Amino acid sequence: MTVATKSLISSTAAKLTLGMCMVTSLWASSFSFTTGVPDGRLGAASRRASPGKLETETADDFVLQQTTVINRATITGLVPLGTPVENIKDVEVEVYHVFPLDSAAASGKVPSRANSPSDVEIGTATRAGGSGTLTFSASVLNASFAVDNTVVNDIKVPAVPLGGEGSATGEEVEITIVFTSPVILPAGHYFFRPEVLLANGDFLYLSAPRPIVPPGDPFLGDLQGWIRNSNLAPDWLRIGTDIVGGATPPTFSMTFSLAGQTIPQAGTPGEDDCHGTTISALAEQFGNTDSAASSLGFSSVKALQFGFNAFCRP
Does position 5 have pLDDT exceeding 90, yes or no? no
Helices first, then strands: H and E counts in the chain: 4, 15
Banded model confidence at residue 12, pLDDT cuts 50, 70, 90? very low
Going by C-alpha positions, the residue among 202, 209, 252, 215 that lies closest to residue 79 is 202
What is the band of 176 on the pLDDT scale with cuts at 50, 70, 90? Answer: very high
Report domain extents, the chain.
Answer: 30-262, 267-314
What are the DSSP calls for 280-308, one per residue? HHHHHHHSSHHHHHHHHT-SSHHHHHHHH
| Concatenated DSSP letters of 176-245 | EEEEEEEEEE-SEEEEEEEEEEESSS--EEEEE-SS--TTS---TT----EEEETTTTT--EEIIIIII-
Other beta carbons within 10 angstroms of residue 6's beta carbon come to: 10
Residues 115-131, mean pLDDT to the nearest whole number? 97
Average pLDDT of the chain, as a whole number: 91
Average pLDDT estimate for 163-181: 98
- Pairwise CA distance, residues 163 & 199, whole Å: 28
- Quote the DSSP letter at residue 271: S
Q: Are 121 and 193 in contact (CB under 8 A)?
A: yes
Q: What is the pLDDT of residue 81?
A: 98
The percentage of residues in the chain with a pLDDT greater than 90, rounded to a whole number, is 88
Q: What whole-number distance in Å separates Cα of residue 170 and Cα of residue 158?
A: 28
Whole-number pLDDT of residue 158:
83
Question: In the predicted model, is pLDDT for residue 75 greater than 80?
Answer: yes
What average pLDDT does range 120-143 have in this prediction?
97
Which residues, 6 or more positions from 129, have their beta carbon under 8 angstroms from its beta carbon? 90, 91, 92, 135, 136
This prediction has a pTM of 0.90
Q: Which of 207, 249, 244, 254 is nearest to 61 (CA)?
A: 254
pLDDT at res. 6: 37
pLDDT of residue 18: 33
For the stretch 38-62, pLDDT in tens is 999 999 999 999 999 999 999 999 9
Average pLDDT of span 274-285? 93
Cis peptide before 100 (omega within 30 of 0): yes
pLDDT at 83 over 70: yes
Cis bond leading into 84, ω under 30°? no
Question: In this structure, are residues 37 and 214 in contact, taking their beta carbons and an 8 Å threshold?
Answer: no
Lowest mean pLDDT among 15-19, 192-196, 204-208, 215-219: 15-19
Q: What is the DSSP letter of 159?
A: S
pLDDT in tens, 149-158: 999 999 999 8
* pLDDT at res. 27: 56
- Report the SS3 class of residue 100: coil
Contacts of 166 (CB under 8 A, 6+ apart): 149, 150
Asked whether the predicted pLDDT for residue 13 surpasses 90, the reply is no
> In this predicted model, what pLDDT tens digit does every residue of 245-259 receive, in sequence order?
999 999 999 999 999
